Homo-oligomer: A and B are copies of this chain.
Amino acid sequence: MIGLEDVRAAARRLDGVAHRTPVVRSRTLDARTGRELLLKAENLQRVGAFKFRGAYNAIASLTEAERARGVVTVSSGNHAQALALAARLHGAPALILMPDDAPDTKVAATAGHGAEIARFDRYAEDREAVLAAAVAERGMTPVHAYDDPRVMAGQGTVALELLEDAARDEPLDALVVPVGGGGLISGCATAVTALAPSTRVVGVEPEAGDDVRRSLAAGERVRVPVAPTIADGQQLDRPGERTWEVIRERVDAVAVVSDAEIVEAMRLLFERVKLVVEPSGACALAAVLAGRPELDGARRVGVVLSGGNVGADRFAALVAGRPAAAGAQGARSPLAETRPPR
């Protein structure tokens, strides 16, 4: 299981490479929630999401020989772009396996960072086999989007920075973190448990994909049916194997939010805080705004805004309540990052 030292090592590798994203304050949101909110703006991170941290740390952790052979992953989300950029910065080859129906914009953005893209048919081909072939034939190192200790440790630097910047004088009562596969929250919970044991770590999932909440309730990793949600970064059917081991030990609770609550948080962030945050990135704030019981008694609250990759047109459609664009996006590739490579 990863420890604080892994997160600290990641922070040293990321120093001067990742943005040290600002902690944004909003008196409007404070007044509205009756709390003191410290918003960690990872939407301002490179490639627009915290994923850069883990991907970069993973590649930086490889030996020179491994780096020369390159990295491979299956992703059509933010991890794809993050790994592509991190590989380019290391001069390492990257192969990104993307389903045939991945949006062109995501494919182009990933290719724009110099990665090789291989498309596969999600319905006819076994993604694990596709990935295994790349590993076997080219000696590439797989870097999973979340179920990888180097990735988890990298994501933990989000909490490390927030604690350093915002909790020096007064500890946080809670840190609220979006949960997809669990890479971000497992890293963050590792830092918080070690450095601020009085701070509760609360995850937030969309109602439509509450696998981690149900797993915590069951005491074991369970698989849930995944319904469509606008929070496409969190449409996963069960926690990762490695992230689960950390989550069960170090996460205090998981709350859920509806798509409507997420959109309201996105609108408030846009109009009152002036930040562009994608649906998955806004769900932690949505839980705070909705006053979920998991946050009862927490006055000083860190909130991770995990990413901002939403186009202006889709954003407008979501905020206007137009279902077409949201549905079209929600329908795509919901399980693209579900299963860890073995």
Task: List A residues at the B interface (Cβ < 8 Å).
Answer: 19, 22, 24-25, 27, 41, 43-44, 46, 48, 267, 270-277, 308, 311-313, 315-316, 319-320
Contacts and interface: CB of A to CB of B under 8 A. Distances in A.
Contact of A22 (B24, B308, B312): B24
Given A271-B312, A315-B316, A319-B312, A44 B27 contact: no
A53 to B, nearest CB: 15
Report the copy number of this chain in the oligomer. 2
Interface centre among A24, A44, A46, A320, by most chain B C-beta atoms within 10 angstroms, is A44
Given A276-B274, A312-B267, A44 B19 contact: no
A48 B316 contact: no
Contacts of A276: 270-271, 274-276
Contact of A316 (B24, B272, B273, B320): B320
A273 B46 contact: no
Contacts of A267: 312
7 contacts: A22-B24, A22-B44, A41-B274, A43-B274, A274-B276, A274-B308, A275-B275
Given A19-B25, A24-B22, A316-B320, A311 B46 contact: no
A46 B22 contact: no
